Each structure stands twice: as C-alpha cells, then as structure tokens.
C-alpha cells in the first residue's frame, strides 16, 4: 500500500476567463480536493492525502455553474516511478500538480 500526498496545484492558464476557476481533484472517482484559483496562482494542498494499492487514477475537473468538465487526460499514479509533477491541459487551460508517493 502507498500514500499519495498532494503538494501544490499551480494555475498557468485558467479555464474561466471572466472569473476564478473552481478546480477539483479526484482520485479513483473520489473528490480529494477542491478550491478556487485565479490566474498564475499556486494552492498548497497539504495535508490532502490518501492510501492506494498499486495504482490510482487521478483527474482534474473545472467546475463551472455546478457542472464539472475534465481538464486534460486522466493520470495513472503508481507506487513507484512517478514524475514529481503532472500537467493537465485542455483548450488553453493549464494546471500543474505536484505530488509525492510514499
């Protein structure tokens, strides 16, 4: 069993150009973090963490008007061999998520 610790989420380009974004991080279909972010801001996600066996599927959603929209591809996190961060990109939107697996 491994522990996925979310560290920071950085907004390089936001989804909603008229107001702040409402990003939501899900792991294996469960919301583990949500917040409000502006352009070029960084959110400290600690102490958000969860345990998983062998692999976990992570998704970033942008919630607008109560409707979630997936940003980029679903990312597979494994017990080892992960990069230090992953990017979620879609049609001008770009978020970078830093995390740790122990």
Q: Say which range, 8-17, 52-61, 67-76, has the weakest mean pLDDT.
A: 8-17
Give the closest residue to 61 by CA, choosing from 100, 82, 99, 34. Answer: 34
Domain that holds residue 97: 2-101
Give the residue ranges of DSSP H helices in 1-102: none
Q: How far is it, in rounded angstroms, from Cα 16 to Cα 28?
A: 25
| pLDDT category of residue 91 using cuts at 50, 70 and 90 | confident
Domain count, the chain: 1
| pLDDT category of residue 16 using cuts at 50, 70 and 90 | low
CATH of the domain at 8: 2.60.40
Instruction: Say what the pTM is.
Output: 0.88
CA–chain centroid gap for 42, Å, is: 12
Write the pLDDT tens digit of every residue in 34-66. Answer: 999 888 889 999 998 999 999 999 999 988 778
Place of tokens 């979620």: 88
Residue 62 has a pLDDT of 87
């Amino acid at each position: 069993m491994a522990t996925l610790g979310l560290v920071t989420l950085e907004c390089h380009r936001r989804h909603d150009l008229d107001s702040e974004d409402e990003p939501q991080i899900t792991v294996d279909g469960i919301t583990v973090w949500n917040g409000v972010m502006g352009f070029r801001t960084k959110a400290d996600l600690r102490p958000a963490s969860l345990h998983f066996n062998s692999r976990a599927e992570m998704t970033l959603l942008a919630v607008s008007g109560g409707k979630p929209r997936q940003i980029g591809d679903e990312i597979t996190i494994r017990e080892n061999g992960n990069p230090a961060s992953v990017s979620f990109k879609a049609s001008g939107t770009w978020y970078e998520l830093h995390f740790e697996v122990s």
